Amino acid sequence: MTRTAILGVGHYVPSKVVTNDDLAKMFDTSDEWIQQRTGIKERRFIEEEGIGPADLAVPAVKMACEKAGIEVSEIDAIIFATLSPDHEFPGSGCFLGDYLGLPGVPALDIRNQCSGFLYGLQIADAWIRCGMYERVALVGGEVHSTGIDLSDEGRDVAVLFGDGAACAILGPTEEEGRGVMDVEVHADGSGAKELWIEAPASKYIPRITHEMIDQRKVWPAMNGKQVFRWATSKMPEVARSVLERNGVGVADIDLLVPHQANRRINEFVAQKLELPTEKVVHNIHKYGNTTAASIPLALSEAMQEGRAKKGDLILMAAFGSGFTWGASLVRL
Ligand code: UT7
């Protein structure tokens, strides 16, 4: 049976390191508060204006192709997951295809926030198993630093997010046992306004006004406690569901690669699943929350470090704005 294999993974983060102390110089926060509540020590911001998620994705895709042993020119479809697209339209995938020199290659942008990589994985898996495409570049890329309120009013959100991109090259495999076993995703829009940006909005005339800017509707707004509550309930629930329906026990998991939103959330998820800490990937201390990029970025680093290797069974889980959430089981 043809399955979808992760053939290679790559990542790229901008070189500008922004520590918690750097943020504390801009607004009222502290290294102690941020580390205690989230586990974040630093994050990366783009070095200068003019760098978008598609730009960050270029080196990530090139690295993923190298790891997969393919040429960039072999990519026959792009899926770009982002909540911070380069422009309102067209999608970042179109820009990326152009930067990579892939005219005519289809590019699909998806807007599933922190669960974007898992939603994209489900789409790519279906495409590949039905024989539609053979080399799909599944990208998660974000530039958050230009869209957060770096002031006292925005501090609850501003300390959490960082910029980065990562890519998985997916393709068919006949290798026994290898590949994507399952992807389960969910959404519940009753929580849409718990973590969102209200404006600009096509439902308002005009879409943006000075008043809306003054009312801070252009910045992300989050009910942190509510998001935390949902994340710690839904991530273990969906992870268990994927394990159960595939007859996989927790002991069979080699590595949990969770979305990196808050170290405390991921420790809680691991504890609920009864997974030992050495089987959980954390890199939030270095990058903060990179949303759609966070799972492939964590996987790429784990593979680079030799923590995740061919034959390993990887459990991925995410929760984010939407609300959206999901989990996947993949044998590398
Ligand atoms: O991918 C999904 C994205 N988001 C998440 O997963 C976020 C989930 N939520 C969380 O991770 C946590 O709710 C946060 C880390 C965001 C906040 O932690 P918390 O323990 O829920 O803190 P809080 O919002 O209840 O705030 C506690 C205090 C407040 O002060 P008072 O009212 O107790 O005087 C805040 O004003 O901390 C204050 N505070 C800050 N202090 C220093 C809020 N943000 C900051 C800050 N620095 N950056």
Task: Look over the chain and give the mean of its residue pLDDT values, rounded to a whole number.
Answer: 98
Confidence of residue 130 (pLDDT cuts 50, 70, 90): very high
Phi, psi of 312 (to 5 degrees): -75, 145
| Ligand 1 lined by 285 (C-beta under 6 Å) | no
Regarding the beta carbon of 224 and ligand 1, being less than 6 Å apart is answered yes
Q: Of 150, 173, 196, which closes a domain?
A: 173
CA-to-CA distance for 188 and 90, rounded, in angstroms?
A: 26
CA pair distance 24, 73, nearest whole angstrom: 45
Q: Final residue of a domain: which of 152, 173, 194? A: 173
SS3 (DSSP) at 87: coil
Per the structure, the complete domain to which residue 303 belongs is given by 179-331
Q: How far is the CA of 100 from the centre of ligand 1 (A)?
A: 39
Same domain, 206 and 123: no
Give me the DSSP letters along 288-328.
-B-GGGHHHHHHHHHHHTTSS-TT-EEEEEEEETTTEEEEE
pLDDT of 1 over the 90 cut: no
CATH number at residue 149: 3.40.47.10
Note whether 150 and 186 are same-domain residues: no
Residues 78/137, Cβ–Cβ less than 8 Å = yes
Other CB atoms within 10 A of residue 308 CB = 24
Same domain, 28 and 140: yes
Are residues 151 and 206 located together in one domain of the fold?
no
Residue labelled with tokens 């929760």: 319
- CA pair distance 176, 186, nearest whole angstrom: 29
Q: In terms of C-beta density within 10 A (0-12 exposed, 13-18 middle, 19 or more buried), how is residue 178 classed?
A: middle
Based on the fold, state whether residues 25 and 73 are members of the same structural domain.
yes
Please indicate, yes or no, whether residues 211 and 99 belong to a single structural domain of this protein.
no
Q: Is the pLDDT of residue 41 over 90?
A: yes
Rounded mean pLDDT, 247-257: 97
CA dihedral 205, 210, 214, 219 (to 10 degrees): 60
Chain segment 58-91, per-residue pLDDT in tens: 999 999 999 999 999 999 999 999 999 999 999 9
Which of residues 142, 173, 204 is at a domain's end? 173
286 and 167 fall within a common domain: no
Read off the pLDDT of each residue in 239-265 and give the average, rounded to a whole number.
97
Q: Is 227 in the pocket of ligand 1 (CB under 6 A)?
A: yes
Closest residue to atom 45 of ligand 1, CA basis: 156
Q: Please determine, for residue 135, whether its predicted confidence score (pLDDT) is greater than 90.
A: yes
137 and 20 together in one domain: yes
Please identify every residue annotated as catalytic: 114, 259, 289
Q: In the chain, how many domains are there?
A: 2
Q: What is the pLDDT of residues 276-291, one digit of tens each?
A: 999 999 999 999 999 9
Q: What is the mean pLDDT of residues 303-325?
A: 98
